[in-house]
Amino acid sequence: MEAIAFTDVSKSYGDVLAVDGLDLSVRAGTTVALLGPNGAGKSTSVNMLLGLLRPTRGRVEVLGRSPDEAVARGEVGAMLQSGELIPELTVRETVDFVRRLYPDPLDLDEILAMADLAGLAKRRAGKLSEGQAQRVRFAMAVAGAPELLLLDEPTAAMDVESRLRFWAGMRDYAARGRTVLFATHYLQEADENSDRVVVIARGGVVADGTAAEIKAGVGGQAVHFTLGRQPAAGLDALPGVTAVGIQAGAATLQTTDADATVAALYRGTSLEVRDLRIAGADLEEAFLTLTRES
Amino acid sequence: MPFGYLRIELLRMLRNKRYIIFVGAFPVIFYMINANLWGTQTIEGGVKADVFLMVSMGAYGALAASMMSTAVPWAQERQSGWLRQLQVTPLPNATIILTKLVSALMLVLPALLLVILAAVLTQGVSLTAGQWAALIPAMWLGTIPFAALGLVIGSLLPVDTAQPVAMLSMFALALLGGLWFPPEVMPATMKEIADVLPSFSYADIGWHLVSGEAVPPSDAVKVVIWAVVLGALAVFGYRRAVTRA
Ligand SMILES: Nc1ncnc2c1ncn2[C@@H]1O[C@H](COP(=O)(O)OP(=O)(O)OP(=O)(O)O)[C@@H](O)[C@H]1O
Ligand SMILES: [Mg+2]
């Protein structure tokens, strides 16, 4: 069954097109990373899955129903990108309150353990650090044992150690056969914690596959040279080139075959190529090339 | 209604120091000071001032409880994202606002009873059983317009505006409604304003009850009209606050 289905979905805020013709479906039981830079449309997509936003066009389905229905039935749990807690309530009170709103929740102690909160249960939310509050919000998201768990940049305020424990908790939850979708900026986080990575930029999918496939696709090598004021047209048509990035007169061609690309660059174009350099593609750089504004 | 939601709403207000001072302590302290200054005087209608003041300060405490537990906390929850976090749980929107209203009413009761208790214990105020049985429910449910006003403010304004607006409304309602100075000593224009305010009609019901007089029907009608108007505005404001773009 499809846990998530976006069918030709667009969402605009006034004249800002945040999501542009998104088609995406996620099979139940998988863990998917929604990877993209700031403003790519990750939160907008997640909020449409929760019924917090309505698509301008197209259809969004969650577990075969409308988002509102799925939320009302307690089949979805979510950690939004931002949100504060009630400062006067303790961690335990907060999480227990939320879990009791669901028809068939997890056991309270189990939730606290999964979110690494056992030692903080009696602390008032107002006295938590940001990273700790983030863990409470994760606990609230899993409390109701939802079929679908949505996490929007869940590790934003966490230190290295908390991140590791957080992802362990998330994988623990996913291992129960639940569907998880999380948004992130970090390729490495996406790589280490998901079955499938969907790269989105400018409101649409630009790459989709397992982390290894994405890496292979954008991996290869990178050809750097100084383009100056010469036109960039045609660079993307050179043999082997998978992506073209131009910044301040410097061109970066991601390629699967550096030799063929360089040969064609000299023989097949009339460009004056200076400062040519070939490097193994840095993954982060490749990701940036993939998602950069063209 | 999920009892758990009501429970945390009450808990967190009762743990808020500012709230406890404003709502729990101030009305009782004002009552004690005033009752000790003027308590033994007899005012028109033959009722003693400490009884009259019990209604005034009880009304003030109830007014403060109903507005302070609604306006600012509610604006904060909207702005801080807590409300959105509730909206992605199975809790229905209608239950959220209804629980807010009920919890505000539950919080009114101790504020009101504290002043009454102070009056009975320190000033020896005594009323007939029938008077108590009419006074307490009237002064309790009569706060519905104020709780609704608090929710309207919290739904429509951002926190930093809701805070002063709620405070000003509360003090204006208390002052112009005659809770701090009896309306008899007000200048004529202020009296006219008092006459249309829900706070005056609300307290006036109490003043009549403790003097053993019949409650003027116009008072009750005015409170009900205010409750309906502000209640409708609260629903409108709430709809606006939770509308999905
Ligand atoms: N309420 C809004 N009004 C106007 N524009 C908005 C609104 N919310 C988002 N946008 C715009 O929509 C686009 C997508 O935003 P979105 O929040 O979905 O991005 P994101 O991928 O979650 O980014 P980030 O990584 O920064 O969280 C951005 O260009 C953003 O400026
Ligand atoms: Mg976002």
Predicted confidence (pLDDT) per residue in A24-74, tens digit? 999 999 999 999 989 999 999 999 999 999 999 999 999 999 999 999 999
pTM score, whole prediction = 0.85
Q: Which of ligand 1's atoms lies nearest the C-alpha of A43? A: 22
The type of residue at A56 is T
- Summarised one tens digit per residue, pLDDT across range B20-65 is 998 989 999 999 998 888 877 887 667 888 899 999 999 999 999 9
Which residues of chain B lie closer than 8 angstroms to A94, CB-CB? Answer: 8
pLDDT on residue B39: 72
**Token digits of residue B91:** 């809790």
pLDDT on residue A242: 81
Q: What structural domains does chain A harbor?
A: 2-209 (3.40.50.300), 219-293 (3.30.70)
A32 strand-pairing partners: A181, A196
**Token digits of residue B171:** 């003090």
Residue with the smallest CA separation from ligand 1 atom 12 is A18
Share of chain A above pLDDT 90, in %: 65
**Token digits of residue B23:** 């709502």
> Got the DSSP string for B177-206?
TTSSS-GGGS-HHHHHHHHHSHHHHHHHHH
Residue with tokens 């698509």: A55
Supply the range of the domain harboring residue B147: 3-242
Q: Average pLDDT for residues A197-219, to the nearest whole number? A: 81
Residue with the bigger pLDDT between A142 and B2: it is A142
Phi and psi (nearest 5°) for B83? -60, -45
**CA–CA separation, B8 and B11 (whole Å):** 5
pLDDT on residue A258: 80
SS3 A74: coil
SS3 A34: strand
Number of domains observed in the structure of chain B = 1
Q: What is the ipTM of this complex?
A: 0.89
Q: Is the pLDDT of residue B146 over 60?
A: yes
Q: Quick check: A149 contacting B, CB < 8 Å?
A: no
**CA–CA separation, B202 and A64 (whole Å):** 52
- Of A24, A43, A79, A150, the one to substitute when testing ligand 1's pocket (max ligand atoms within 8 A of C-beta) is A43
Q: Is the pLDDT of residue A280 over 70?
A: no
Strand pairing report for A76-79 and B42-43 = unpaired
Q: Is A36 in the pocket of ligand 1 (CB under 6 A)?
A: yes
- Summarised one tens digit per residue, pLDDT across range A136-174 is 999 999 999 999 999 999 998 899 999 999 999 999 999
Nearest Cα neighbor of A208 from A44, A40, A80, A23 is A23
Q: Average pLDDT for residues A221-246, to the nearest whole number? A: 86
Nearest to B245 among A53, A72, A74 (CB): A53
pLDDT on residue A289: 65
A16, A62, A101, A148, best to mutate vs chain B, most B CBs in 10 Å: A101
pLDDT on residue B194: 87
> A39 vs chain B: nearest CA distance in angstroms?
18
Q: Average pLDDT for residues A185-192, to the nearest whole number? A: 87
The type of residue at A201 is A
Q: Is A11 in the pocket of ligand 1 (CB under 6 A)?
A: no
Strand order from edge to edge, sheet including A76-79? A76-79, A148-152, A179-184, A31-35, A196-201, A204-209
Strand pairing report for A148-152 and A179-184 = parallel
